[in-house]
Amino acid sequence: MTRILFVCTGNVYRSVLAERLLAVRLAPGAAVLPESAGTRARPRPGMDPAARAVLERLGGDGSGFTARRLTAPLVADAALVLGLAREHREAAVRLAPSAMRRCFTLKEFVRLATDGTDEAQGRVPEEGAARGATGLGPVVAAAAARRGAVLPVPAAEDEVTDPWDRPHEVLDECAQDIDRAVRRLALLLGGGGVRG
Instruction: Give catalytic residue positions.
Output: 8, 14, 118
Could you tell me the strand order of the sheet in which 80-83 lies? 32-38, 2-8, 80-83, 103-105
The answer to whether residues 171 and 163 touch, using CB atoms and an 8 Å cutoff, is yes
- Residue 107: name the closest of 157, 45, 48 by CA: 157
Between CA 93 and CA 104, with CA 99 as vertex, the angle to 5 degrees is 65
